[in-house]
Amino acid sequence: MNSPVYHIEKLVHGGLGLSHDKDGMVVLIEGAIAGETVRAKIRSQSKNLAQAVVTEVVTPSSGRIQPPCPYYHKCGGCDFQHLSYSNQLQAKQAIVKDLLVRSGHPDLQKAADTLLTAPLASPQQFHYRQRIRLQVDENQVLGFHKRRSHHYIAINNCLLARDEINDCLQELLLQRAFTKLLSQTEALEILYDPNRSKIHILIHFKRKPRPADKQHAQELVQSISEIQNIFFMGDGFGVTGRDSLSFTLLPIPDHTSRPLSLSWETGGFCQVNLQQNINLIQTVLDFCRITEKETVLDLFCGMGNFSIPLAEQAGSVLGIEGQGSAIRSGRKNSTDAGQSNTEFLKRPIHQACETLVLENRAFDCVVMDPPRQGVPGLARELANLCSKRMVYVSCDPATLCRDLADLLGQGLFLKKLQLIDMFPQTHHIETIALLEKR
């Protein structure tokens, strides 16, 4: 018996195709493109919603292509490889526009037509990731999660990873010492250091490493010339040893006059698409429009991705972050740049903002780059801390719309919206919003 036929009305948040069945129930369909007619198999169903997956494309979109990755239909990593890149960008813009319209806030609905721009395309559509994380199962299979599963699919090459990472992975799989380590490994991170053209490996271990484990790691460093260092971490112990990766931020027109080297500790956070990260930084600097006497508050500052270039122009920059390794990196990056106008504090963000408000602090520009959950319940404090401009970098457009609605209710208005495609071949997208005080 054939699966039911569905017309895909649009793509919604999460990259799923929205349709309705014959009874009017919403059906969200994986692997579909807006405008297509498809057959789909229901995977799960509740009272008002069904989840399905495409089994046959009856009427394909002109934007549909054959996914180039051999793991695509099994691996849960990429979900947009069946769209041409130009159609990926169009789909992402349409998804964000849909969220703005459905927010119900009149200013956001208006912004969907007047402010929302086409996404800034990534310089590379493949091989852009400088970091990948692989999982290891009880059978020592090294790979990514299968689609809709807790099991893993073994891989030895990822089309999103840099060539240097794939080359290293393939060499590791041939090494006896690596096989020995896999028996106690839960996950493996392979990180590329662009400034040294070297690989760092972070092994998430089930127990504290023993001398034999460290010896196996040393054998791998000696056998594979591209590897700079191998570290262990796990429950009950942090990263064994400390080293940093770094990239060079070239002078940004109208903002910085010299190259800046930004480093972060192994195990710390940095954007995985380093080339597009430079475009992200430039857009943030363009939105901030900082002058030499102005003050900046950078929340979720990380290792200073925005703080350090902003400090080249600002009177002062205060960076706040909850992760200790990031704060250490931020301070080091500022010192290496010869800056004396920065301060980096390790604090929970909500707590830090409440304290700053109690101290009657205010900043000409507030920059924030929160995790996926955004900044719920913080709108009033943020509005009090911001005297002129606010730049919000979001990796989740749904929580961004929620937070923007809250901020608009606190005396700010939305000035600009720029989409940046940090993660080609996936539905994920970065959005930068500029708000100004009324």
Q: Which residues are catalytic?
A: 395
Q: Exposed/middle/buried for 49, CB within 10 Å: 0-12, 13-18, 19+?
A: exposed
Residue 24's alpha-carbon distances to 12, 18, 19, 35, 47, in angstroms, are 17, 12, 9, 18, 12
Q: Give the N- to C-terminal CA distance of the chain in Å, as an integer.
A: 61
Separation between Cα atoms, residue 240 and residue 100, nearest integer Å: 45
The two structure tokens encoding residue 23: 């009874």
Helix (H) or strand (E) holding 109: helix 106-114
Q: Give 167's contacts (C-beta < 8 A, 6+ positions apart).
A: 226
Report the residue count for the chain. 438
- Coil vs helix vs strand at 337: coil
DSSP character string of 165-205: HHHHHHHHTT-HHHHHHHTTEEEEEEEEETTTTEEEEEEEE
Asked if residue 231 lies in contact with residue 267, where contact means CB atoms within 8 angstroms, the answer is: yes
Residue 206's alpha-carbon distances to 158, 248, 377, in angstroms, are 25, 35, 37
The two structure tokens encoding residue 41: 């198999």
CA angle 251, 255, 260 (to 5 degrees): 40
Separation between Cα atoms, residue 343 and residue 362, nearest integer Å: 15
DSSP-assigned beta bridge partners for residue 17: 11, 29
203 HSE (CA, 13 A, CB side): 26
> Scanning the structure block, which residue is given the tokens 């200073």?
304
Q: Phi and psi for 382 in degrees, rounded to 5?
A: -65, -40
Q: Which amino acid is at 225?
A: S
